[in-house]
């Protein structure tokens, strides 16, 4: 249902470097880069993607309160690896990797903010 999620940035080159390194951890790469800054990462053009761009209106990008993009991965180890990579790249922790609820639900999440303050989750639903 979701085609892509867009996050605003005030420093496009810094954001591109962050997401190039972060999303490479899960096999995603830059798929599209337009002259005005719109930059999309993903695994294929027909799969959901993540976009970073300066705001179209020219105003300062600010993270929304309650807004979050969530990245699904296929193992708990990848949840941990992506969270650690985000922090290594200068992101901030918003919730360490771990179960959210009982084990039988298999909800394994971690949360972080990127260099512009945008909140992201990385998660795996299912057994370890």
Domain boundaries, the chain: 4-56+67-125
Per cent of the chain over pLDDT 90 is 92
Secondary structure class of 30 (helix, strand, coil): strand
- Residue-wise pLDDT for 1-31, tens only, equals 789 999 999 999 999 999 999 999 999 999 9
- What stretches of the chain show up as alpha helix (H) in DSSP? 12-24, 76-88
Contact indicator for 112, 85 with CB cutoff of 8 Å: no
Kindly compute the dihedral angle of the four CA atoms of residues 88, 38, 110, 48, in this order, to the nearest 10 degrees.
-130
Mean pLDDT of 79-104: 97
Global pTM value: 0.92
Question: The dihedral of CA 62, 42, 47, 54: what is its sign?
Answer: positive
Question: Residue 60's pLDDT is what?
Answer: 94
What is the topology classification, in CATH, of domain 4-56+67-125?
2,3-Dihydroxybiphenyl 1,2-Dioxygenase; domain 1 (3.10.180)
């Amino acid at each position: 249902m979701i085609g892509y999620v867009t996050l605003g940035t005030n420093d496009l080159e810094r954001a591109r470097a962050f997401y190039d390194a972060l999303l490479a951890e899960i096999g995603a790469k830059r798929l599209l880069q337009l002259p005005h800054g719109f930059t999309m990462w993903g695994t294929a053009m027909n799969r959901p993607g993540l976009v970073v761009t300066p705001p179209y209106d020219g105003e300062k990008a600010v993270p929304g309160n309650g807004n979050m993009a969530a990245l699904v991965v296929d193992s708990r180890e990848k949840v941990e690896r992506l969270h650690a990579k985000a922090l290594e790249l200068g992101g901030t922790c918003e919730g360490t990797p771990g179960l959210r609820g009982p084990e039988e639900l298999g909800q394994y999440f971690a949360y972080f903010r990127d260099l512009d303050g945008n909140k992201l989750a990385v998660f795996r639903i299912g057994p370890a």
